[in-house]
């Protein structure tokens, strides 16, 4: 089988951004995932209690450049009623399982979704998180009942 190599570089095709709607099991609010937007990236090392932000994730959170925070400092970015669930999810979820969590940035009220997956390096587990902004059609700021964590191993859910 011959491999054909093009003479010119392959240019990516512009993809039209389309809304994707979902609900977390309740009709109180719906989100629209902004498809076609890049993900932010964060790395959480629970035992060292450090969180590293890439530049795009830092900008979503109001910072100008990539930064590092303590786990407690990281949780301060989100609404007070969401912080305990976030830390509980990071520390108590089995290290081998991934999960996603919907949060709201406290100062800007921007809804985001973080998808955490476990990574292992020489018997040491840490979590990598992909951060994506969400458009919320009905605000749930200040309502603690709409915080949710989805996981294949547990059902942490605040009602």
pTM as predicted = 0.62
- Contact predicate 67/42, CB 8 Å: no
CA-closest candidate to residue 125, choices 93, 102, 103, 84: 93
Please report, rounded to a whole number, the percentage of residues in the chain having pLDDT higher than 90.
Answer: 9
| Most confident segment among 38-42, 91-95, 140-144, 146-150 | 38-42
Instruction: Decide if 57 contacts 37 (C-beta within 8 A).
Output: no
Q: What is the mean pLDDT of residues 118-140?
A: 77
CATH number for the region 19-151 comes to 3.30.450.20
Residue 5 has a CB neighbour count (10 Å cut-off) of 5
In this prediction, residues 114-139 reach a mean pLDDT of 80
Q: Which residue has the tokens 């407690």?
A: 72
Residue 26 has pLDDT above 50, yes or no: no
pLDDT at position 119 is: 87
The residue extents of the domains of the chain are: 19-151
Strand 31-34 and strand 19-22: the pairing is antiparallel
Which tens digits make up the pLDDT trace of 29-47?
444 455 556 788 899 886 7
Structure tokens at 25: 């099991």
């Amino acid at each position: 089988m011959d491999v054909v190599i093009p003479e010119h570089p392959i240019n990516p095709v512009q993809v039209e951004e389309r809304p994707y709607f979902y609900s977390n099991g309740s009709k109180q609010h719906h989100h629209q995932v902004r498809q076609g937007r890049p993900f932010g990236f964060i790395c959480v090392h629970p035992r060292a209690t450090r969180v590293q932000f890439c530049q795009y994730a830092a900008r979503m959170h109001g910072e100008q450049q990539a930064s590092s925070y303590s786990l407690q400092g990281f949780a301060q970015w989100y609404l007070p009623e969401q912080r305990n669930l976030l830390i509980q999810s990071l520390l108590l979820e089995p290290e081998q399982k991934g999960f996603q969590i919907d949060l709201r940035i406290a100062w800007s009220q921007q809804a985001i979704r973080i998808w955490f997956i476990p990574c292992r390096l020489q018997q040491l587990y840490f979590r990598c998180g992909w951060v994506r902004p969400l458009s919320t059609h009905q605000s749930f700021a200040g309502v603690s009942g709409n915080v949710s964590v989805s996981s294949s191993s547990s059902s942490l859910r605040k009602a």
